[in-house]
A and B are shown apart, each in its own frame.
Chain A
Amino acid sequence: MTQDQMSGRDGEKRVGTRNIIEARDVEKWFGDFQALRGITMSVKEREVVVIMGPSGSGKSTFIRTINRLEEHDKGTIIVDGVELNNDLKNLEKIRSEVGMVFQQFNLFPHLTVERNITLALSHVRHFKKADAHDMAMRLLERVGIPEQVDKYPAQLSGGQQQRVAIARALAMQPKIMLFDEPTSALDPEMIHEVLDVMRELAETGMTMIVVTHEMGFAREAADRFFFFDEGVIVEEGTPEHFFTNPQEERTKLFLSQIL
């Protein structure tokens, strides 16, 4: 069965056939503690993958290995045909192709919203100043806050900050976006404004890996679903499968707690 049948959405967006991310038997230790115990996962072009799991189960660690904020100790990770290893050349390529949005926003507090977005454009992509500015404005309009362009992060609400963070990541025109619990640090009334932006992004065909516990978003936007526990993938499948008919005890218990 095709991805479209599974997600049950209209045929606007097509999940590709090529694997853009391939992780095989990825393991990761922190000292004597093994945080990832052999993760195998492949993500197709334009696919939206949601990862859930209890705190400490290795979700963040896994997606951080994909842009090499964490180095994996065993296994292979191939992103867009490039294998992640100690080669600095690969690292640069991957980092500019994979955008990331953090739970704590991690905006640069000493830079205005515009400079937050254009910093990497000027110094990594060597954009002209005017072009970088146009790009920043275009993205800010897309996330709905063009009027905040000259403010500093501290002057924005949490939801606005996270939308700037999304715009900042999108500015590099990444092929893949990673979201690590992007709404967990937000007040309830701001969650939806960030989720709306993410939903639109999914509809434009961006490849996304999203760690989140937002069931509404997962149900609507996700093509595939992974459940992590103690550093392994316990269960994977379609959203329907998860919401109607989870197989594993640990998954059932977890879902019953957060639903």
Chain B
Amino acid sequence: MAAAQGSSASELRRILTLWRNVRVQRFVGQTVFAAIVIYVGYLLISNMSGRLDQIGLSLFPFVDTTGSFPFISVSGDFLNQRAGFDIVETSFGYDYGPNDSYRDAYFTGFLNTIRVSGMGIVFATIIGVFIGVSRQSKNWLVSHAALAYVETFRNVPLLLQLIFWYVAIYLKLPRISNPLDLDIAIVTNKAIALPFVSPESGFGIWMIVLLAGAAAGAAAYVVRSRRQDATGLPSHPGWWALGAFGAIGLIGFLATGLPLETDTPSIANRQVIGGLQMTPEFGALLTGLTLYTAAFIAENVRGSIQAIPKGQTEAAAALGLGSFQRMRYVILPQTLRILIPPTTNQYLNLTKNSSLAFVLAFKDVFGTGSVIITQTGQAVPIIALLMITYLSLSLFISLVMNTINSRLKWENA
């Protein structure tokens, strides 16, 4: 009797100690957590699917639970249906019309997103670096003008700025019936057009010549750097490379009989034709995204220049390096290392922010997606698709920037 009691008491103690055991706690805790997450997720999804059923839609239109493995039915794929809406502006020469499918429409929007984000990233970087360096200027007016720029643009919502550029600037440009003809450009509120070039016969050959020029430039670079190493004389490999490429390109251009023709824009039938054109929607989006992001990049630039200890400049100066050399060999390489991660963030922000194109009726991927939602009612798959699209873009930009960052090894100064 006493023994039995003792054993059940020790049994109890064993269970109690089991409960105090860290590993048991971890296991139980995580299982409970997972169970709750799965259950809540199940509830939300089943609610959604129940409601969608009532209005004749499926939560997972690509999944055919009645079929066989892998349960993906392409036949019921609404993305193959005719879109029926037009997208005025397309990118990279992609051809789209209202008779194409929703899938084509979505892809057109995707390309538009890439074009505006890509151009925005390039321009925002240029302006941001310029403003950020100006912030450090010894000239009081310059540094404070740059400060005013930064404080103005980053403290006002981007959406407001976009709308401002669109309705208060681009749409206020002269009407097409009364265009502003600047000889080099045509400015109207339907489009801004700059002269451009279009390929002529001989263009293909010239491209090959250009490739050869690039190879020659690379060779010149190598030869001149070797010479600098061997003799110590400053041999300017960069300039030589550029010179070789430019010279060969120019000779090739003349030899192939001027394979480019200037394409001057003109107006006919109340339309701007020819040249390099930009619609007010795209213009406003690009201007807004660029100027807004540039303010943030400028702050990053300033911060990373300031993060380099003063001793670095002093030590370089004490060695007799001139101000350009101090910048090029000592400050810049260190600055870049600090600058790239926050700038990557700004590139990601710019790309995500390009979805505000929605408000300007510029059909980027989000705008196209929202049209598809209103036309088909398929909110769930389209929102999921949009999320996947943006996540992939974010991932891609991060990968590219990380690669650049790890390539920038310290020693390649």
Contacts and interface: CB of A to CB of B under 8 A. Distances in A.
Interface of A: 67, 69, 92, 95-96, 98-100, 102, 104, 106-112, 115, 119-120, 122-132, 152, 165, 168-169, 172
Given A110-B413, A111-B410, A129-B230, A102 B322 contact: no
B403 interface: no
Nearest to A67: B318
A69 B234 contact: no
Which of under 10, 10 to 19, 20 to 34, or 35 or more describes the interface residues of B?
20 to 34
A255 B312 CA distance: 33
A95 B319 contact: yes
Interface in B315-336: 315-322, 325, 329-330, 333-334
Nearest to A111: B413
B408 to A, nearest CB: 9
A102 B320 contact: no
A69 to B, nearest CB: 5
Contacts of A112: 410-411
9 contacts: A67-B318, A69-B314, A99-B319, A106-B312, A108-B312, A110-B337, A115-B411, A122-B232, A128-B230
A106 B309 contact: yes
B320 A124 contact: yes
Interface in B70-128: none
Nearest to A178: B318
A131 B232 contact: yes
Given A115-B411, A123-B329, A128 B320 contact: no
Interface string B333-368: 110010000000000000000000000000000000
Contacts of B230: 128-130
Contact of A120 (B320, B333, B410): B320
B231 interface: yes
Given A111-B411, A172-B320, A129 B334 contact: no
A126 B232 contact: yes
B321 A108 contact: no
Contacts of B233: 126
Given A126-B233, A128-B230, A106 B311 contact: yes
Given A102-B311, A110-B334, A129 B232 contact: yes
Please list the 7 inter-chain residue pairs (A to B) with the smallest Cβ-Cβ separation, ordered nearest first: A129-B229, A106-B315, A106-B311, A96-B320, A120-B319, A110-B410, A95-B320
B311 A98 contact: no
Contacts, number: 92
Contacts of B329: 119, 123
A110 B333 contact: yes
Contacts of A130: 229-230
A67 B314 CA distance: 10
A96 B309 CA distance: 22
A100 B317 CA distance: 10
Contacts of B315: 100, 102, 106-108, 165
A104 B310 CA distance: 11
A112 B228 CA distance: 20
A99 B317 CA distance: 10
A99 B228 CA distance: 25
Contacts of B333: 110
A6 B318 CA distance: 32
B411 A98 contact: no
A73 to B, nearest CB: 18
A110 B409 CA distance: 8
A95 B317 contact: yes
Interface string B199-235: 0000000000000000000000000000011111110
Given A102-B315, A108-B330, A120-B320, 16 more contacts: A95-B319, A100-B318, A102-B311, A104-B311, A111-B410, A111-B411, A112-B410, A119-B330, A122-B232, A124-B319, A124-B325, A127-B232, A128-B232, A132-B232, A152-B410, A169-B318
Nearest to A96: B320
Contacts of B232: 122, 125-129, 131-132
Nearest to B410: A110
A109 B410 contact: yes
A119 B319 contact: yes
A129 B315 CA distance: 22
A92 B318 contact: no
Contacts of A126: 232-234
A146 to B, nearest CB: 19
